[in-house]
Amino acid sequence: MCTTLISKYNVSGPRYTSYPTVPYWDNDSFRLWSWKEKVQQSFEESNSNEGISLYIHSPFCESMCTFCGCNKRITKNHGLELPYIETVLQELDLYIALFNHKPVIKQLHIGGGTPTFFSVENFRVLLTGIFTRTIRDQYPEFSFEGHPNNTTKEHLQTLFDFGFERVCYGVQDYNLKVQNAINRVQPYENVLKATTQAKGAGYTSVGHDIVYGLPFQTEDDIINTIAQTIRLRPDRISFYSYAHVPWIKGNGQRGFRDEDLPTPSQKRKQYEIGKKTFKEAGYVEIGMDHFALKNDTLYSAQENGTLHRNFMGYAANKTKLMLGLGVSSISDSWYGFAQNVKNVDEYQKLVKQGIFPVYRGHILTDEDLIIRKHILSLMCQFATTFSADDLVINHIPSLIEKLKEFEKDELVTIDSNTIKVTKKGRPFVRNICMLFDLRLQRKKPETQLFSMTV
């Protein structure tokens, strides 16, 4: 990739798991009663075939991974599990009280933190509690994040029995020096065992997360990690750029020095090596940072135009309502967002008092909804159009003018009312979305809010 383009476009920018992005939410005008109304509106508009999505955040980890930007609580006290799970179920009750009938659960994802911090017995308590309160969809899409070091055969079988058929393992990198730097040591043998057991249990989609741009990571490390990954043949692969945001995450990302990180051009070379290797091994690039075999639902979703992006990343289908349960979780009613408090003790205290544990949120304006559609289309399909009435925004002429610079660099094509991202432009899709982001355009941040785009 041209180093001139990297230098030109490597700026701080959002990853667009939402629009507006969290730093641009209008928290001052957000009201809990309005959020509840938007949840009810989405629930009533969703037909029974669509159902709703649940995201459950498990914050507990036994050790700190210094590359991680997630909300977590480091502890070895497993006595915290059951009280937390009981609180999550109580929070679900608060939402169910807003509905006029039992919700159908179409999608369910358990993330963290380390979900497999939970014991098998407590997973049963959690999932039994959910499905006694709700209806399981006939064709559910249930998944969880597993740690290769502590995901047991019993974990896999128990979750499979509840309808889970997708698991994603955090691999990151196999080089021991890199693993030590990020405090995430896990041998290949552990990943092999966890992957083999998942496939043996009947999981139809096993995913691996790999991160590039990590401290001390070299091109040879990327080549070696991907070679070992391909040997295990996961159905989908997330190939993430390490987001170095120590100003947000504090000491959690200070287990190494800034000079230990690859340069932007080295980092981009790592990605290009990975992308080429995945393609040669039969993986298809899906949206941004994802690759999948043709048997995986992400591939078919991209092919038939149903690929969706939200706070959980890419999903094969979209539900209008996604409820985030647990500390720091974010809910999405399509018309609004709401995030839970980030402290476990505060979260439990509020829920036990019958109070929704929301501490900030945003109700989308008509303009927000239009821009959200454009950014989703760009992130999922690498194209968008202004032809439909519900996609027209007032700043189209100025937007087209700004995009001409990207067209000159062969990153997009502009044809009548359609914008298409070229293959050369895909690594810069975040930059392209930033031109559509009116809230960002109107108020440039005074300090760095986001990771670098390259």
Residues 324, 182, single domain; the answer is: yes
CA 142, 148, 151, 153 torsion: positive or negative?
positive
Whether residue 187 sits in one domain with residue 70: yes
Instruction: For residue 184, say whether it is annotated as part of any ligand binding site.
Output: yes
Q: What does the block give as tokens for 314?
A: 């890419």
My answer on whether 333 and 412 are in the same domain is: no
- What's the total number of domains in the chain? 2
Residue 9 belongs to a domain: no
Q: What is the DSSP string of 90-110?
A: HHHHHHHTTSSSPPEEEEEEE
Order across the sheet with 412-415: list the strands: 383-385, 418-421, 412-415
55 is in an annotated binding site: yes
CA 372 to CA 250: how far, in whole Å? 30
The predicted structure's pLDDT at residue 69: 66
Is 145 among the annotated ligand-binding positions? yes
Among 363, 393, 420, where does a domain finish? 363
Residues 401, 278 within the same domain: no
- How sure is the predictor about 49, in pLDDT bands with cuts at 50, 70 and 90? low
DSSP annotation of 64 reads: -
377 or 73: which carries more pLDDT confidence? 377
How high is the pLDDT of residue 417?
82
Q: Taking all residues of the chain, what is their mean pLDDT, rounded to a whole number?
A: 90
Q: How far, in Å, are 50, 174, 367, 387, 436 from residue 392 at the CA level?
A: 27, 47, 9, 7, 12
Q: Is there a single domain that holds both residue 335 and residue 385?
A: no
Averaged pLDDT, 59-77? 75
> Do 326 and 52 form a contact (C-beta atoms < 8 A)?
no
Residue 446 annotated in ligand binding: no
Residue type at 150 in one-letter notation:
N
381 among annotated binding-site residues: no
For residue 313, is it within any domain? yes
Range of the domain at 239: 15-363
Tell me whether residue 69 is annotated as binding. Answer: yes
Q: Is 52 annotated as a binding residue?
A: no
Residue 13 marked in a binding site: no
| 246 occurs within a structural domain | yes
Q: Is 243 labeled as ligand-binding?
A: yes
CATH number, position 61: 3.80.30.20
* Whether residue 337 is found in the same domain as residue 405: no
| 302 and 381, same domain (yes or no) | no
**pLDDT at 285 > cutoff 80:** yes
| pTM for this predicted structure | 0.91
> In sequence order, which ranges of 246-390 are alpha helices (DSSP H)?
246-249, 264-280, 297-304, 344-352, 366-381
- Of 326, 346, 363, the position where a domain reaches its end is 363
Co-location of 283 and 400 in the same domain: no
Rounded CA gap, 89 and 396, in Å? 46
Give 128-195 as a DSSP string. HHHHHHSEEEEEEEEEEEE-TTT--HHHHHHHHHTTEEEEEEEEE---HHHHHHTT----HHHHHHHH
113 is in an annotated binding site: yes
pLDDT for the residue numbered 254: 55
In a domain, 132, yes or no: yes
**Residue 61 among known ligand-binding residues:** yes
Q: How far is CA 253 from CA 29, 216, 449, in A?
A: 33, 14, 15
